[in-house]
């Protein structure tokens, strides 16, 4: 019996979005680790465990990572063979990922970020030695803006924006670090963001999470070789903030409609 299998789990927090003979896609809530991490040794609950229960108790293989505070679409392979095929597709950047974020300030209407990022020592993939700079590329588009008549920082009003992002590489905290580089950090980012705005959202909207969600994956199915689009709905707390900021129209947009998975 493995350490993971000995844990008595509470009700499954994952929402099943898609399943076939090769793949299993779920919605992961903010705050849940994907798998065991050396920097969170005290944790006993992981998305990987819960995904196994959705897979009839059989092993699943995570095909990408979501940071613990990030919610949204998480994809697993149901066999090591499929994991290998999907790993090749990811190495060749044949998957398109879409994320939604609420950021401080108003970024440009659209942009292409080509800004290398240094390895992080707490990245599970880091094996020691030199922390190298690696290429990191993200495209983004601004969907909506709001200006609140509240002096959160040094200005008499505070601006926020809803941004859709497409990472082309998979560096740790890439989207969070890229938005910090643009001086438009993601709200709720305790590591790369700004505490005054994070605290404001906690007080005003009752949320203390990272306002970042994985909403869509576009790929070629490893068995059928047909295009497959997977979508995830936004978590309720994310929707709550969007409604409060006047962005309800984007909640209903088909980009975030789980029913549109094909």
Q: Is the pLDDT of residue 245 over 80?
A: yes
Burial (Cβ within 10 Å: 0-12, 13-18, ≥19) of residue 38: exposed
Of the listed ranges 44-53, 78-87, 110-119, the least confidently predicted one is: 44-53
pTM greater than 0.85 (yes/no): yes
Label residue 130 by pLDDT band (50, 70, 90). Answer: confident
User: Cβ contacts of residue 64 below 8 Å, gap of 6+?
Assistant: 74, 75, 90, 95, 97, 170
Higher pLDDT, 43 or 3: 43
Domains of the chain (ranges; CATH) run 15-260 (3.30.2350.10)
**Would you place residue 257 in the very low, low, confident or very high pLDDT band (cuts 50, 70, 90)?**
very low
pLDDT at 1: 37
Q: Which of 153, 155, 175 is nearest to 165 (CA)?
A: 175
State what percent of residues in the chain have pLDDT above 70: 85
Determine whether 20 is an active site residue.
no
Active-site annotation holder among 4, 40, 67, 253: 67
Who has greater pLDDT, 171 or 4? 171
Confidence at residue 260, expressed as pLDDT on a 0 to 100 scale: 47
Q: In this model, does residue 123 exceed pLDDT 70?
A: no
pLDDT tens for residues 164-222?
Answer: 999 999 999 999 999 999 999 999 999 999 999 999 999 999 999 999 999 999 999 99
Dihedral sign for Cα 123, 124, 125, 127, please.
positive
């Amino acid at each position: 019996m493995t350490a993971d299998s000995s844990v008595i789990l509470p009700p499954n927090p994952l929402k099943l979005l898609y399943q076939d003979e090769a793949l299993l896609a779920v919605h992961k809530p903010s705050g849940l680790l994907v798998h065991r991490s050396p920097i969170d040794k005290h944790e006993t609950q992981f998305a990987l465990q819960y995904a196994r229960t959705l897979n009839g108790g059989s092993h699943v293989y995570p095909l990408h990572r979501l940071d613990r505070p990030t919610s949204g679409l998480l994809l697993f392979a149901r066999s090591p063979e499929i994991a290998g095929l999907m790993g090749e597709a990811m190495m060749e950047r044949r998957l398109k990922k879409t994320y939604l974020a609420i950021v401080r300030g108003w970024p440009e209407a659209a942009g292409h970020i080509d800004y290398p990022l240094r390895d992080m020592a707490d990245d599970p993939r880091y094996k020691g030695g030199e922390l190298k700079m690696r290429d990191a590329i993200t495209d983004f588009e601004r969907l909506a803006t709001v200006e609140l008549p509240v002096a959160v920082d040094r200005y008499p009003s505070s601006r926020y924006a809803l941004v859709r992002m497409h990472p082309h590489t998979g560096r740790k905290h890439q989207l969070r670090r890229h938005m910090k580089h643009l001086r438009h950090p993601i709200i709720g980012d305790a590591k790369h963001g700004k505490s005054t705005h994070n605290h404001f959202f906690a007080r005003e909207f009752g949320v203390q999470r990272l306002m970042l969600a994985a909403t869509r994956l576009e790929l070629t199915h490893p068995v059928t070789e047909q295009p497959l689009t997977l979508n995830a709905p936004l978590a309720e707390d994310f929707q709550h903030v969007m409604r409060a900021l006047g962005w309800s129209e984007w909640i209903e947009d088909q980009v975030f409609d789980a029913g549109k998975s094909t």
